[in-house]
Amino acid sequence: MLSAKSLFEEILHDDEAFRLFCSIAASGESQGGWENGRIAALVPESERELAPKVARHGADEDKHGRIFRALMKKRGLTPVDVPHETDYTMLLEQHGIGLAHGRLRREQQLGVPDIVTYLAHSRVTEQRASEQMDLLHRYFADHPDIGRAVKMISQDEDNHLAYCHEELLRLAYAGHGRTIQRTLRTCALAEIRIYRNVSLAVMDHMGRLLGWPRAKSALLAAGIHAVYAYERAVGWRRMVSLRMPERRDALGGPALTAAEFA
């Protein structure tokens, strides 16, 4: 029977598939860490109180990258180059979602509209990350090899999502509500399309590594297309709603370390 748990168990038990999975995850987290670090350095004076939270967000993402690399190292594996078509974070940037890397490399202070763009992009992508880690947490929180990593990253992603909700609501109350909703919708519709394409690419690579029969690969591809159809119709709305989170000031303190993995 095909299920998210059984698929991930296949990946977990095969060194080459696990290495590709962790390499993709580590690359995306490290890129997110760099982006947040640059944004923290360029936050406008009117938003200086946000800078430590953005920096904390980036520190968490860097930590996640180290955790995924450490999981590979524990099994004697080294990272592989990430295939372009599986690079979710880079593809989002290339399609104009979030702040362009060229902009972040310049030593020019951001404006409040840039902060709105950053937070809206994060709101959408952290929704995806939180849901994915919640799934892994449900199935593998007690796993002897990856359980602690899954629990730590899942908690961080929930904190990131709470932070995005709270900061976007603050900016909405300050008069940026229409811009926020417009930006969220644009980000969400682009993200679900890119997520579908990346999911198909990842499953194609995994299928070849794991020797899946053609029928199994076709069934998985059909499932990915079905999820996209649902998200394109109504599912995207969960990515654009805003509500005050139970976890207030979720990124207000120092980042938790992961010395046991790094």
pLDDT in tens, 185-212: 999 999 999 999 999 999 999 999 999 9
Dump the DSSP string for the chain: ---HHHHHHHHHT-HHHHHHHHHHHHHHHHHHHHHHHHHHHH--GGGGGGHHHHHHHHHHHHHHHHHHHHHHHHTT----PPPGGG-HHHHHHHTT-SS-HHHHHS-----HHHHHHHHHHHHHHHHHHHHHHHHHHHHHTT-TTTHHHHHHHHHHHHHHHHHHHHHHHHHIIIIIHHHHHHHHHHHHHHHHHHHHHHHHHHHHHHHHHHT--HHHHHHHHHHHHHHHHHHHHTGGGGGT-----SSTTTTSSPPPP-TTT-
Q: Is residue 154 part of a domain?
A: yes
Residues of the domain holding 119:
4-239
Q: Is residue 248 part of a domain?
A: no
Q: Is residue 256 part of a domain?
A: no
The string of pLDDT tens digits covering residues 85-135 is 999 999 999 999 999 999 999 999 999 999 999 999 999 999 999 999 999
Question: What confidence category does residue 258 fall into, taking pLDDT thresholds of 50, 70 and 90?
Answer: low
Q: What CATH code is carried by the domain that includes residue 63?
A: 1.20.1260.10
Q: Is residue 166 part of a domain?
A: yes
pTM of whole model > 0.85? Answer: yes
Q: Is residue 252 part of a domain?
A: no
Q: How many domains does the chain have?
A: 1
Q: Is residue 26 part of a domain?
A: yes
Q: Is residue 83 part of a domain?
A: yes
